[in-house]
Amino acid sequence: MRFGFHISIAGGLSKVPQRATAKGCETIQIFSRNPRGWNYSPLPQLEVEKFRSGISQRGIEPVVVHMPYLPNLANPQPESYRRSLDSLCEDLRRADLVGAKYLVMHVGSSLGESKPIAIERIVKGINKAFQLVENGVILLLENTAGAGTEIGDRFESFKLIFEGILPKERIGVCLDTAHLFEAGYDLSSTQGLEKALKGFVQLVGRQRLYLLHLNDSKTPCGSRSDRHWHIGEGHIGLEGFKRIVNHPKLQDLPGIMETPRKSEKDDLRNMEVIRGLVDQ
């Protein structure tokens, strides 16, 4: 498994390769713009060139772009839906520009509408984006903890979404371990991990899983409360993560940590811990 972190783009994309190297990253995830707003500026060509060159020289791959938090293709309000679709199209382009293989998107929230109707809207939006932006970036839908009206806490939702997506080679899943656990999939036990993977394979298919977000959970299994925590220090635990990173169905995937960070020491500690769990 190749390990990495979500890396800040503060000060420009060109700063990312050095930051990634300092943390021992083999893979990285970034935002291409402000994650908490709708507005964006074009990516400066020189910054993009320095980023791509630095990443290539260091052998960091794959590169993953994460979409901002505001877009929601399940939103029933026409203007919000339009902005969300525009945002997806823009990030598909930006991901391609920086050489990213994957673009991660939160599935969305139904906002009180029925889930079947919300899922139809999500499918329509993704298909429209794929028509408008034709490139090789694979869109990865990230599972949720299931708070409120979130969609994507159960594998059944992914199955319904994927049935309507074309072309299917442009869509996949990013599984967040904390979100899975908080949604009720008990990754802390051998039986729970096997049950979760069996369910995913049956409903979605192993071929649709491209990326892991490796985060421990500060809240108990089934809490539906999204609280990332340090590897091995939460409710999934060291033994839980040892089984995850060494599992035959998962060990060839990239694993990106989004663990809490008060200082660089936190990232270095989490990297040391996760690497120490890999069977030699």
The residues carrying an active-site annotation are: 36, 66, 69, 106, 142, 176, 179, 213, 226, 228, 258
HEC per residue, the chain: CEEEEECCCCCCHHHHHHHHHHCCCCEEEEECCCCCCCCCCCCCHHHHHHHHHHHHHHCCCCEEEECCCCCCCCCCCHHHHHHHHHHHHHHHHHHHHCCCCEEEEECCECCCCCHHHHHHHHHHHHHHHHHHCCCCCEEEEECCCCCCCECCCCHHHHHHHHHCCCCHHHEEEEEEHHHHHHCCCCCCCHHHHHHHHHHHHHHCCHHHEEEEECCEECCCCCCCCCCEECCCCCCCHHHHHHHHHHCCCCCCCEEEECCCCCCHHHHHHHHHHHHHCCCC
What are the distances in angstroms from CA 113 to CA 70, 118, 119, 201? 18, 7, 10, 28
Q: 157 with 107: CB under 8 angstroms? A: yes
